[in-house]
Amino acid sequence: MSATHVPHPDLPPPSSTIGALGWLRRNLFSSPLNVALTVLAVYLLAISLPPMLRWALFDATWSGDSREACTANSGACWIFIKVHFGQFMYGFYPEAQRWRVDAVVLLLIIGAAPLFISSVSNPLKVRLGLGLLLLYPLLAFMLLHGGLFGLTPVDTRQWGGLLLTLVIAGVGMTAALPLGVLLALGRRSKMPAIQTLCVTFIEFWRGVPLITVLFMSSVMLPLFLPTGMNFDKLLRALIGVTLFQAAYMAEVVRGGLQAIPKGQVEAAAALGLGYWKTMALIVLPQALKLVIPGIVNTFIALFKDTSLVLIIGLFDLMNIVHSATTNPAWLGFSTEGYVFAAAVYWLFCFSMSHYSQSLEKRLHTGHKR
């Protein structure tokens, strides 16, 4: 009679390695150095969090609509934000016309939503994307600026707040990417004239600070133009920002182009593809995918750099918050204002980086190790 060997059932793992306790041990108390760092971090949180929370939440004033309502509480006065909210979002855009801004944003959301739905077919997405890229800006400009179809014209100097920040960032991003791709291709071109042109352009714009570009566009440029010929200050800033970002974008894209093995181009040539087809169908799709982090990095930097337009007197989110803090009726609430601005910037930048990560995952084709 043979006895089958029945292994003893596995013992449960030691209680110190599972559950919350195990996690703590593994991640926070695994070595003397980690123990020290954990203790330090907990200590820092303990001394900084309660006052912060007290200021921002518990002792803060949430309701009311005058400055007086805030005097009772020692914490933040969020009424300041509430009262100025419209201004922070739309700048000096006339209140009766603000629906136009909302419509522009709504249009973008409706138009862009199908791009994020996986069941929509790809050719449709491409058509929609092109429409968004080419038609939407025109439509948005017509709605925002008015003057046509019986819409009251709203001068660009009245645009402000988050609206202006988004306009500058949006235009800068959508225009800089294609321009940057062309510049990157130009820089690697075998035609000396095009190559020199692109290298000069890129090196020039990368060599000057954005603040100088903006300053030149608003202060120096008008001096060189014939008298009486003034084009819009916002337009000047937009052109400056776009050219500046295009140079950075070009270098990011060039990094991607260089990472594509030569065999890809040769294989494309063997298939009989011309230059543009090779680039559009073989090289760029691979190269751009590789440099998504770099592109998004540039976008995020651009988004935050829009706050520099305050030196040329455009009231973007940052400048309008600053201007509200000097309102004589609401003095002394600069902290609330800047915290709000920081939160808005963070929200946008974080969403961008989050989206880029999901994009990377979706386009992942096994290159990653």
Partner 1 sequence: MNRRNTLAFSLTATLLLAAGTAQAGNTLNAVKERGYVKCGVSDGLPGFSYADAKGNYSGIDADVCRAIAAAVFGDATKLKFTPLTAKERLTALQSGEIDVLSRNTTWTSSRDSAQGLNFTGVTYYDGQGFLVNKKLGVKGAKELDGATVCVQAGTTTELNLSDYFRANKMKFTPISYDKSDESAKSLEAGRCDVLTSDQSQLYAQRIKLAKPDDYVVLPEVISKEPLGPVVRHGDDEWFDIVRWTLFAMVNAEEMGITSKNVDEMKKSTNPDIKRMLGVEGDKGKDFGLANDWMAVVIKQVGNYGEVFERTVGKGSDLKIARGQNALWTQGGLQYAPPVR
- C-beta closer to partner 1: residue 66 or 351: 66
Piece of the chain touching partner 1 by CB under 8 A; list 34-42, 110-118, 265-273, 324-332: 324-332
Q: DSSP of 264-316, one letter per residue? A: HHHHHHHTT--HHHIIIIIIHHHHHHHTHHHHHHHHHHHHHHGGGGGGGT--B
# residues contacting partner 1 (CB under 8 A): 39
Piece of the chain touching partner 1 by CB under 8 A; list 7-15, 182-190, 307-315, 345-353: 307-315
Is 331 a binder of partner 1 (CB under 8 A)? yes
Is 220 a binder of partner 1 (CB under 8 A)? yes
**Phi, psi at 263, each rounded to 5°:** -55, -30
Among positions 141-160, residues that touch partner 1 (CB under 8 A) are: 155, 157-158
Alpha carbon distance 132, 136 (integer Å) = 5
Single out the residue of 31, 119, 227, 365 in contact with partner 1 (rule: CB under 8 A).
Answer: 227
Residues near 319 by Cβ (< 8 Å), separated by ≥ 6? 160, 307, 309, 310
Is 313 a binder of partner 1 (CB under 8 A)? yes
Among positions 71-130, residues that touch partner 1 (CB under 8 A) are: 83-84, 86-87, 91-95
- C-beta closer to partner 1: residue 84 or 100: 84
- C-beta closer to partner 1: residue 97 or 264: 97
Supply the DSSP symbol for 11.
P
Least distance to partner 1 from the beta carbon of 70, Å?
13
- C-beta closer to partner 1: residue 123 or 228: 228
Alpha carbon distance 76, 128 (integer Å) = 45
- C-beta closer to partner 1: residue 285 or 332: 332
Single out the residue of 65, 326, 361, 365 in contact with partner 1 (rule: CB under 8 A).
Answer: 326
Is 318 a binder of partner 1 (CB under 8 A)? no
Residues near 267 by Cβ (< 8 Å), separated by ≥ 6? 282
Alpha carbon dihedral 269, 275, 278, 280, in 10-degree steps, equals: -170
Least distance to partner 1 from the beta carbon of 263, Å?
53
Is 218 a binder of partner 1 (CB under 8 A)? yes
Alpha carbon distance 275, 161 (integer Å) = 44
- C-beta closer to partner 1: residue 222 or 255: 222
Least distance to partner 1 from the beta carbon of 229, Å?
8
Residue closest to 42 by CA, chosen among 61, 67, 59, 24: 24
Least distance to partner 1 from the beta carbon of 306, Å?
16
- C-beta closer to partner 1: residue 216 or 359: 216
Residues near 66 by Cβ (< 8 Å), separated by ≥ 6? 79
Q: DSSP of 182-233, one letter per residue? A: HHHHHHT-S-HHHHHHHHHHHHHHHHS-HHHHHHIIIIIHHHHSPTT----H
Least distance to partner 1 from the beta carbon of 170, Å?
22
C-alpha dihedral sign at 19, 25, 28, 30: negative
Single out the residue of 307, 319, 341, 344 in contact with partner 1 (rule: CB under 8 A).
Answer: 319
- Residues within the interface to partner 1 (CB under 8 A): 83-84, 86-87, 91-95, 155, 157-158, 215, 218-220, 222-225, 227-228, 230, 310-313, 315, 319, 322-324, 326-329, 331-332, 334
